[in-house]
Amino acid sequence: MEAAKKRTAERLARERAAKLAKRSQSEREPGPVGFMPRHHLDIPRSMMKTSIAILLHLASRTFVLFVLCITLGMAQAPAPIYYTVRIPAAQTHYVEVEARIPTAAQPRVELMMAVWTPYVIREYAKNLESVTARTDDGRPLVIEKARKNRWRVETGGADPIIVSYRVYCHVMDVQDNWVDDEFALLNGASTFLTLAEHAARPHDVQIILPPTWKTTVTGLPSVPGSPHHYRAPDYETLVDCPVVAGNPAVYEFAVEGKPHYLVDVGEDGVFEGGRAARDLARIVREDAKLWGGLPYDKYLFLNLLTGGAGGMEHSNSTALMSDRWNTRTHLNYLRWLEVASHEFFHTWNVKRLRPAELAPGEYETEPYTTSLGIAEGFTSYYAPLMVHRAGLSTEEELLATLSRAIRELQTTPGRLVQSLSLSSFDTWIKFYRPDENTRNTAISYYTKGEVAGFLLDARVRAATHGAKSLDDVMRLALARNPAGGGYTPAAFRSAVSEVAGTDLSAWFARVFDSTAELDYREALDWFGLRFSGESNQQAWLGADTEAEDGRLMVTHIPRGTPAYEAGLDTGDEIVGFDEFRVRPAAWDQQLANYQPGDRLPLLLARRGRLIRVTVTLRQEPGLAWKLEAATASPHRAVW
């Protein structure tokens, strides 16, 4: 029974493949040769299936059963979904998708759109419209919504079915879609409807470009000889490989014999792509040294110089969004290198060394993990460190980046409320959904995780008298991480203890699981550092303010500040101080005329009513979190 069903499915798959080969020949549009990574080898599945069929005919009946058992195992890969993506009017920000979906002649199939990508619910289905279904010969099929992100199609036994829809692509974010007359960024999760199933089904994507666009670039495997045509072995890979289309500038460089590409959209003669590619090569080399090789065939830095911000890691690519002016000043360039370094470090830490809870396969409900302090935080610790090891920043610049994280942690009241582990667990409702009270109640797992990485690195180095470091921990954790399985918090912690040669579970309990203040002494001693910083003598109110239509508005009141204690509130307008009118543009200067300890009467407007409060100004704490060299420690030279 089971075998017979599978055999039918295999025959259907063969017929579909033959039909589709015909279709794609007629539909393929002549066009410029796209971006064809050269180190790709893709054996067409139909070839494999044909040889299986010949074998079956030649064999005896008993042998047939035997071979059938083996070949069914080989033939388990389900029939592909074929997508054709068109961009007929790029300026309207739409792509049109036609999906040819195998149904195995089931009377009803359910289609799914991903709900989240790391680490927030994004509701990609909201950008879909005009979703229709038909048979291969054009007969309309009933399709209706089954959930916010699901559609149910009554197939009437048709196989395949054709589902068409339009996607509005106007979110300038590395995790979403953008289409305009210059370029497109298409992410798998936000573009492709797929069968609601857990199967390793190939997803085949043919992109039809607007006439003036020449190039598509993606980490997806190319279909040889077919421009702008890619085949993901499964939905996970499709989601993990964003596509950039347009006319980007592409810089190729090799590290360890593997091709890497810096793909710049929006250079406009400003961003120095050649220099950036050379510097990325140095970072890639350092990472290869740390991890012991490069785990991919090719790698792409999709560098969107579009004024947005952010980066998203993938197995063999990253999407970066920033500003074309970033190569003009040294500090901005350093920030750009650090973001690229962060995303590249994820090639291992997250994509291959991942928390067990983040194993791929679930796209509709959010997975909960307490390990983002390791996944994101340690990556943030390593990002500037790898830039430094690559010789692209000075020791002072490395310390400045680390100091910023320490200062942010130590001046965020939420560090005393939310632990690092809980910050990770609640990312879905807190980190990506901040409000005016977030700083009082939450701490970023990026920030505290970065500082924790620094402290743990020093802990391991000190415990082993410099023989081992966090590098050894990461390598061991990766070696222990079964392919695709992921680590539990306990497994990671025990790997750390093993490398350090001492039980560090109490250290993790304090730094990750509690809100206790961090102890910096050991790290400062080991690296020969100290905290410094000019203490600011200026009077400090402690409220965040913004000028809005000529009014000075309070946007945030951190706990423990003079403003918090005096009863100022978010949304208050500061109208006057003493007997004087506030001028928003000069507010800092006006405050600078006072001293810590002065009592300052303020006139506020709150919901249309005037209120008087008196604030006792203080000296601003937290300015002394600047790391600097205290001794000429040899340990910094091998950091």
Q: For Zn ion, which is the closer residue by CB, 243 or 375?
A: 375
Interatomic CA distance for residues 322 and 580, integer angstroms: 42
Question: Which region, left, alpha or beta, applies to residue 622 given φ > 0 means left and ψ of -120 to 50 means alpha?
Answer: left
The neighbour count for residue 426, using CB atoms within 10 Å, is 16
Q: For Zn ion, which is the closer residue by CB, 323 or 376?
A: 376
Q: For Zn ion, which is the closer residue by CB, 210 or 310?
A: 310
CB of residue 124 to Zn ion, shortest distance in Å: 20
CB of residue 313 to Zn ion, shortest distance in Å: 6
Q: For Zn ion, which is the closer residue by CB, 286 or 313?
A: 313
CB of residue 375 to Zn ion, shortest distance in Å: 7
CB of residue 550 to Zn ion, shortest distance in Å: 39
CB of residue 471 to Zn ion, shortest distance in Å: 18
Query: Per CB under 5 A, which region of 10-18, 53-61, 368-376, 456-464 contacts Zn ion?
Result: 368-376
- E strands, 70-191, in order: 81-86, 94-101, 108-112, 116-117, 120-121, 128-135, 140-147, 150-154, 161-168, 178-179, 184-186
Q: For Zn ion, which is the closer residue by CB, 17 or 442?
A: 442
Please list every residue from 136 through 195 that binds Zn ion, using CB under 5 A. none
Query: Per CB under 5 A, which region of 84-92, 149-157, 375-383, 600-608 contacts Zn ion?
Result: 375-383
Peptide bond just before 119 cis, omega within 30 deg? yes
Query: Per CB under 5 A, which region of 52-60, 77-85, 204-212, 371-379 contacts Zn ion?
Result: 371-379
Query: Per CB under 5 A, which region of 129-137, 151-159, 314-322, 374-382 contacts Zn ion?
Result: 374-382
The residue number with the shortest CB distance to Zn ion is 376
Q: For Zn ion, which is the closer residue by CB, 204 or 376?
A: 376
- E strands, 213-341, in order: 215-218, 229-232, 243-246, 249-255, 258-265, 299-304, 310-313, 317-321
Of positions 264, 286, 323, 376, contacts Zn ion by CB under 5 A: 376
Q: Are 97 and 206 in contact (CB under 8 A)?
A: no
- Please work out, in degrees rounded to the nearest 5, the angle formed at the alpha carbon of residue 438 by the alpha carbons of 437 and 442: 135
Q: Are 249 and 234 in contact (CB under 8 A)?
A: no
CB of residue 346 to Zn ion, shortest distance in Å: 5
Query: Per CB under 5 A, which region of 145-153, 370-378, 427-435, 501-509 contacts Zn ion?
Result: 370-378
CB of residue 558 to Zn ion, shortest distance in Å: 26
Q: For Zn ion, which is the closer residue by CB, 228 or 351?
A: 351
CB of residue 498 to Zn ion, shortest distance in Å: 26
CB of residue 639 to Zn ion, shortest distance in Å: 21
Query: Per CB under 5 A, which region of 91-99, 154-162, 372-380, 489-497 contacts Zn ion?
Result: 372-380
Please list every residue from 32 through 61 that binds Zn ion, using CB under 5 A. none
Q: For Zn ion, which is the closer residue by CB, 434 or 597?
A: 434
The neighbour count for residue 187, using CB atoms within 10 Å, is 28
Counting DSSP H helices and E strands in the chain, the numbers are: 20, 31
Q: For Zn ion, which is the closer residue by CB, 119 or 183?
A: 119
Q: How far apart are the first and last CA of the chain?
A: 62
How many residues touch Zn ion under the rule CB under 5 A: the total is: 1
Q: For Zn ion, which is the closer residue by CB, 218 or 318?
A: 318
Pairing state between β 150-154 and 108-112: antiparallel
CB of residue 513 to Zn ion, shortest distance in Å: 22
Please list every residue from 525 through 544 that binds Zn ion, using CB under 5 A. none
* Residue at 200: amino acid letter: A
Q: Is 286 in the site for Zn ion (CB under 5 A)?
A: no
CB of residue 309 to Zn ion, shortest distance in Å: 13
Burial of 182 (0-12, 13-18, 19+ CB in 10 A): middle
Query: Per CB under 5 A, which region of 284-292, 373-381, 466-474, 565-573 contacts Zn ion?
Result: 373-381
Q: Are 580 and 552 in contact (CB under 8 A)?
A: no
R_g over Cα of the chain: 28
Q: For Zn ion, which is the closer residue by CB, 279 or 376?
A: 376
Task: Tokens for 633, please give them.
Answer: 């420690």
3 state SS for 520-588: CHHHHHHHCEEEECCCCCCEECCCEEEEECCEEEEEECCCCCHHHHHCCCCCCEEEEECCEECCHHHHH
Residues with Cβ within 8 Å of residue 40, at least 6 apart in sequence: 221, 222, 224, 297, 298
Task: Tokens for 182, please give them.
Answer: 């210059």
CB of residue 185 to Zn ion, shortest distance in Å: 18
* Residue at 450: amino acid letter: E
Query: Per CB under 5 A, which region of 33-41, 369-377, 405-413, 613-621 contacts Zn ion?
Result: 369-377
Q: Which residues bind Zn ion (CB under 5 A)?
A: 376
